Amino acid sequence: MKKGILLVNLGSPDSPEPKDVKKYLGEFLMDERVIDIPLAARTALVKGIILNTRPKQSAKAYKKIWWDEGSPLIVLSERLQNKIQKEVEYPVALAMRYGSMTIKKGLEELVDKGVEEVLLFPLYPQFAMATTETITVLTEELRQQHFPNLKIESVPAFYNKPDYIEVLSNSIKNHLKDKNYEHLLFSYHGIPERHIRKSDITKSHCKINNSCCVTPSKAHEFCYRHQCLEVTRLVAEKLQLKEGTYSTSFQSRLGFDPWLLPYTDRTIERLGKQGIKNMAIVTPAFVSDCLETLEEIAMEGAELFHEVGGKEFTTVPCLNDDDAFVNLLSKWINTWAKESVEIS
């Protein structure tokens, strides 16, 4: 069977203009795995409220980070795809969950090249209903409707794979080698607490407290909070960070529901007020730099830190098309393709 790979990332608007941002946010936020409330309530919230104000505000933010070649998230994902393509002998396509580069087009591209067996690779180290799950569910729906003979296998969240932790740790170490930082903040995209409970396969484990995520459980295979805390723990262990010199927080909340705590903006504020002058921040929920890292963290976060007395604020880039990361993903893909075994 001829094999092929479909890398999938989140997506971006076609341009940073409000009309394109509105179209993109409309598709994104109407996903039942992103705003997980009944359709009528979701429609009223998204179309009646959010889309009337947010696109203008988000468009301003997108304009600050947009590159001549396009959205950083898309450009960086394409660079990753191109580099991986050089390392593997199977066609590698790229798609986005939202926006113009659809998963359907990505599958068509592979099928047109004669591919019969696809490795679906969601570009997210941690599992979340709003990321990995929405990709795998939509891809399966598309398979049933349009490509019934296609065999598709998905790559699960790779948050705790030792070689991923090594690549991430080395990247952090290299970017911070000349920085005398006092605190390293691991900032992950937030999700509503409700998402954690919904994804709890045991239906009773996740209490979202100090102990559930460190108590072994089957629930952790799908617990975003556990997986984020594990990335922090494993990287801190690898880099031999001292207790108290690093912490975890969650960014980019939307709406009034409780989201995972602590919030990144409040943490940055607290660190500055505590007298930390030199901090660094890494964002391991994102494989590619994007609005949430380039604007919310590198611009807004830095400004906030300076306002509360901080001096140096260093942002570690995402893994993007880092050669070690490219080699790692290519190695996993080649292992799958040659041995037809699950990536481990």
Ligand X SMILES: C=CC1=C(C)c2cc3[nH]c(cc4nc(cc5[nH]c(cc1n2)c(C)c5CCC(=O)O)C(CCC(=O)O)=C4C)c(C)c3C=C
Residues marked as binding? 189, 292
Judged by CB under 5 A, how many residues of this single chain contact Fe ion? 5
Of residues 324-343, those binding ligand X (CB under 6 A): none
Quick one: which of 15, 37, 54, 312 contacts ligand X (CB under 6 A)?
54
The two three-digit tokens of residue 69, written as one number: 């070649």
Report in angstroms the alpha-carbon separations of 73 from 99, 227, 287: 12, 23, 9
| Residue of 84, 94, 101, 191 interacting with ligand X (CB under 6 A) | 191
Evaluate whether 6 touches 119 at the Cβ level (below 8 Å): yes
The answer to whether 290 contacts Fe ion (rule: CB under 5 A) is: no
CA atoms within 13 A on the CB side of 222: 16
Distance of closest approach, residue 94 Cβ to ligand X, in angstroms: 15
Does 291 bind ligand X (CB under 6 A)? Our answer is yes
Which of 73/304 has CB closer to ligand X? 73
Residue 196 binds to ligand X (criterion: CB under 6 A) = no
Looking at residues 80 to 139 of the shown chain, list those that interact with ligand X (rule: CB under 6 A): 124, 128, 130-131
**253 contact, one of Fe ion, ligand X, none, CB 5-8 Å limit per kind:** none
CB of 125 to ligand X, least distance (A): 9
Nearer to ligand X, 115 or 232 (CB): 232
d(CA 1, CA 116): 6
- For residue 20, give both structure tokens: 């394109």
Q: Which residues are annotated as a binding site for Fe(2+)?
A: 189, 292
Count other Cβ atoms within 10 Å, centred on residue 233. 17
Both tokens assigned to 163: 């070689």
Does position 212 interact with Fe ion (CB under 5 A)? The reply is: yes
Q: Distance (Å, rounded) from C-alpha 229 to C-alpha 226?
A: 5
H helix or E strand, kind and range, residue 94: strand 92-96
